[in-house]
Structures are given as structure tokens and as C-alpha cells.
Amino acid sequence: MRITANNLLGNMSLIRSLNGHERKNMHMESYNKDSFIHSSLSVFQTYGRTQIRSSKCSDEVLDKINFKLDDILRQKCGREHSFIVNGKEYMHKDLPRIDSSKCMNIKAVNNKIVLNNGHYYNYKDRKGKEHIFACVNDRIEQPYSDQFAGRQDKNTYQIAKFWNMLSRDGTYMSLYYSKAEQQSLLNDAGISEGFFSVQIGSKKQEYFYSNGNAGVAVRKFEYDAVYDMFAKRGSALFNEYDIGSVFMIGGKEYILNEDRKFDIPYGEDIFDVQFPKRAQ
């Protein structure tokens, strides 16, 4: 699908017309749909085919397009093929790429990813291709300047979607990304196995990075519930095994005690389990 300026800006105009509840529902559905929605609405003024000379675009103008596009549209400074910023016209097709020197890497610190609104980020994939994102409205996405200039990239969209989902609810990541893809993106960002978190703007979610069969990114509250079953509460599941049975949990041996529980440290990969033979 070719994404035109009318499609993109028409969609933004539609979103602003929705009430708060409708915006929330539309936002939550965005994981299953393309970033852009066809729309006949347009906030552009349409002019003749007169050749327009584009002004040279400064970093300040690029930042305004990428981080304060609503302000430009609110002032009715969006045209079919250009923007008017500070009284000067900038053609979509002439908008330059974001210089990677302005970007911060998507890298974890203490197993925490924190991406802030109003900043640019980059990620170099394993083929050596660089992907650049703008963080705006608690999401990262390909900068608007790239999108209007016709430089939409499917892989960039998929990488952004991965982090956006994790910052909210990564329960269904496996529907969109293979186990290997998830591990690759997490590892490349410097996230190691165990607890980690992803925050984009005000949106934050905590996870456990697992090698087990419950998914790569298991939400922390789900980990806590299962850990409670193993170490504190017990489960009828363990009644099927003899006391003293040896379970392999996270690659280590743990013995089922007389209370049919395990003396297992918090943070062990309790989703990576090899069960012994059941009692006869």
C-alpha cells in the first residue's frame, strides 16, 4: 500500500476528533493493524501544480515536524505536498534524513530500557542496516519527516512495534515475532535473562526474560504467581510426584521437599522445567 500525505494526515485529523474513550480503543487496536489508516479526510490545502522551491530544512524545523506536528496542523500549515513552518515552505520530498549523530542507541542499563519523548533513537540490525526512530506520545516510530518523504520502512515499523508492545503488554508477542526474533532484539539491546523492564514515555511494563515454554517475555506479576506456587503455596500438580523427586529448573536440580514445595531462589527461570517421572 502506498502511503500518501493525505492518508497520514487525514488519519491524524480523525484521531484528534475522537473522544478520550474512542482514542484509547483505537490506540489499543493499533498492534494488530498497520500504523496508517486510509482516510478521505485531509487537513491540507490543495494548490495548483506550480513548481515550488523548498526552503533548506534545519534541525529545528525537523524537530518541530517530528515532535510537534499537531501544532503545525492546528495552525493550518499543512499542504498537500509541503509544510509551512515559521513562514517558510518545506516540501515533503525534500525533507532530509535524521542524522544518526542526533540519536541515542536503544540500550538497556541494569536491564532497563528507558526511551523518552522528544528524543531520537537508533538501532542497527544484524545486517548492518540502521533504523532511526522518534519518540513521541509514549511511542517510538519512524520519524514523520521520513514518512512524508516516502521513506517508510517495513522493518523499522516492526522493530518499533516490538518495543511499543513491550512498554504496554507483551503477552501476545509470539503472534507477531518468533522466539528467535524476540531473543535477538532483546539481546541486541543488552537485556540479559532474568527480570527486565521497558518504559517508553509514561508507559512501563516489567517482565521476566525466560527460556521456558511460557514465552520469552513473561510479565512479572505472572512470574510472581508461578513462583509462589513453587516455593510457598504448593500445587496439586506436585502431588503426582514422590517426595525427593528431582526437577531440573533453569538448568539446575531442585528437590521436591516434604511439603511438596521447592527451596528455589527468586529469579530462577521457573518456566524452564524438566519434570521427573510421576509416582507409580
Q: What is the pTM of this model?
A: 0.79
Residue with cell string 491524524: 12
Cα torsion 265, 271, 275, 280: sign: positive
pLDDT at 37: 35
In this prediction, residue 173 carries a pLDDT of: 94
pLDDT for res 55? 67
Widest distance between CA atoms in the chain: 87
Amino acid at residue number 92 = H
Whether 242 contacts 252, CB under 8 Å: no
Per-residue tens of pLDDT for the chain, all 280 residues: 444 445 555 555 444 444 444 444 444 444 444 443 333 334 444 444 444 556 688 999 999 999 999 998 888 888 889 999 988 999 999 999 999 999 999 999 999 999 999 999 999 888 889 999 999 999 999 999 999 999 999 999 999 999 999 999 999 999 999 999 999 999 999 999 999 999 999 999 999 999 998 999 999 999 999 999 999 988 888 999 999 999 999 999 999 999 999 999 999 999 999 999 887 6
pLDDT for 278: 86
